[in-house]
Structure 1
């Protein structure tokens, strides 16, 4: 499980940074990736990355401001040309479906794969045997949501040496034991799964927030998350401006991570007033005074989601 940033700027693209888009790579877990937001030019960013649109399984939109959705029509219409024939599910606030349908209709674009658009107003929006995704409303000029992705606990590892001592070789019975069920051998010997299987591996939690100023749902969404991705549009000296524009400062993002008990914080959605990396470093230093385990989002860089 890894995070890959495709766009980290707020409002408009610049020569240094594109507008918002974040990929959650799940290559080992699902052989795919999920995307959060799709600002203008996102498909160009994908072309410059190791990601392939054919592997895009789910796309989550935080809110309907242009810097978060203007790349969506182009990406959806060209996905098939990059091998994207598998179904794609897109989740987001009410209005998302009409935006997509109108864009595709007016441009006479054809989508040759199954596209499911799921509009929501928060709550549990997806769950299967591996993951669940929950959403909650934040505080922005329009409805903006944060997403909490929870990986379910995974089975522990089998003790191969102990299994060999029973004369058991890799095969279907390994799968039975891996699922937590006991196995009875031909001689009547019962191999208990609890004796050959280590403790379950705790699933990871990633929280991706849309644009927001400090609000009540931030901390519950990020509660004990292994990674929190939080906007930090301004330095804290511009806290008044941040509040007026419904955005957050570095200190506010760090305070949210600290209160939530998150393990790591990555700042993103930087104002265009901040140029190259050396102008962003003061934002990082500021956040670290409150939450030391903070990083700056960087486009085309992988961030592993760690459990420790």
Structure 2
């Protein structure tokens, strides 16, 4: 799982930061998912190593323009390129009406299936590999945070050891890898778990923007590997944050600390902290690290790899480790 930041500014783009957009690349599936789609996102995708043809799902947090103004253009381009497959879009109420209006007044017709899912708190998507859930955050309009949880996988199956103890190759290996207990023709009972390495713990990601500090963000981010959280304002501008229902750097760090996440990545920075100003984004990093040391700043086109962990069974107790 790879995170690529396509836009890390709040409100308006700057010379070095576009407005909101984050891609989650799933190499094992040859696809990527997009979180928010501010104006210019398709240009950012073209400048990255992502392939638009591999876009399958889009998750929109809320209906403010810096999070949706690039959506219709991206969808239209996917159709004109002729290589789009089905795209599922998840978002708040009014998203479907917005897209219908855009299509009607621009006379745009998609040449591929587009399905809009209106989300509610809870699980919004699940397949054999992933579960995606959302929670209602605290902003001026309905805004949702998203959590992507990869399901645990069995450890590596030791085929050589299985052959050495006389288990013939075939479909039985698949059953053993799934941890099943099988009985061989000679009466021996084999526990699949004994032939597999440590369980590979599913990776977890939370994406929270736009919001002020709230308990819902903490619960959504509980124990994730990576929390992407907005940090629109510096701590000294907390009054602005409360007025506009955005987070400060210290609020983002407090969410990460309370949720016991492994890595905090801050994004959605106000242009007022551009290089050369009295306060810069690097100052927001220092503020956050004073509360949650494992914090990084996102920048456009930065890619972060979420690594796997293994679950080691020790005296019946599962312990996860890097």
TM-score w.r.t. length of structure 2 = 0.90
Q: Indicate if the aligned counterparts of 1:16 and 1:276 stay in contact, CA closer than 8 A.
A: no
SS of the residue corresponding to residue 197 of structure 2 reads coil
Aligned position for 2:265: 266
SS of the residue corresponding to residue 272 of structure 2 reads coil
Distance 2:244 2:130 in 1: 34
Q: Indicate if the aligned counterparts of 1:56 and 1:84 stay in contact, CA closer than 8 A.
A: no
Structure 2 unaligned spans of 5+: 310-321
The number of aligned residues is 307
* Segment of structure 1 superposing worse, 240-249 or 187-196: 187-196
By how many angstroms is 1:304 displaced?
Answer: 1.1
By how many angstroms is 1:200 displaced?
Answer: 2.3
Cα distance change on mapping 1:89 and 1:153 into 2, 3 Å:
same
- 1:116-131 pair list within 5 angstroms: 116-131=115-130
By how many angstroms is 1:83 displaced?
Answer: 5.4
Aligned position for 1:73: 72
Aligned position for 1:281: 282
SS of the residue corresponding to residue 273 of structure 1 reads helix
Cα distance change on mapping 1:80 and 1:177 into 2, 3 Å:
farther
- 1:84-233 pair list within 5 angstroms: 84-166=83-165, 171-183=170-182, 190-233=189-232
TM-score w.r.t. length of structure 1 = 0.94
* Segment of structure 1 superposing worse, 242-251 or 175-184: 175-184
| Bigger fraction of residues in strand | 2
Q: Determine whether 1:303 maps to 2:304.
A: yes
Cα distance change on mapping 1:82 and 1:274 into 2, 3 Å:
farther
CA distances 1:58-110 after superposition (whole Å, capped 9, x unpaired): 11000000000000000011113445432111000000000111111211112
Q: Determine whether 1:42 maps to 2:41.
A: yes
Cα distance change on mapping 1:162 and 1:78 into 2, 3 Å:
same
Distance 1:208 1:218 in 2: 9
Distance 2:166 2:2 in 1: 38
Distance 1:113 1:168 in 2: 47
Distance 1:260 1:301 in 2: 24
Tell me the C-alpha RMSD between the 2 structures: 1.9
Distance 1:168 1:4 in 2: 44
Structure 1 unaligned spans of 5+: none
Aligned position for 1:236: 235
Aligned position for 1:9: 9
By how many angstroms is 1:298 displaced?
Answer: 1.4
By how many angstroms is 1:190 displaced?
Answer: 4.8
Distance 1:191 1:120 in 2: 44
Aligned position for 1:293: 294
* Segment of structure 1 superposing worse, 157-166 or 56-65: 157-166
CA distances 1:117-165 after superposition (whole Å, capped 9, x unpaired): 0012322111122111111111111111111111111122112331231
Q: Indicate if the aligned counterparts of 1:94 and 1:121 stay in contact, CA closer than 8 A.
A: no
CA distances 1:163-190 after superposition (whole Å, capped 9, x unpaired): 2313557653332222223455566655
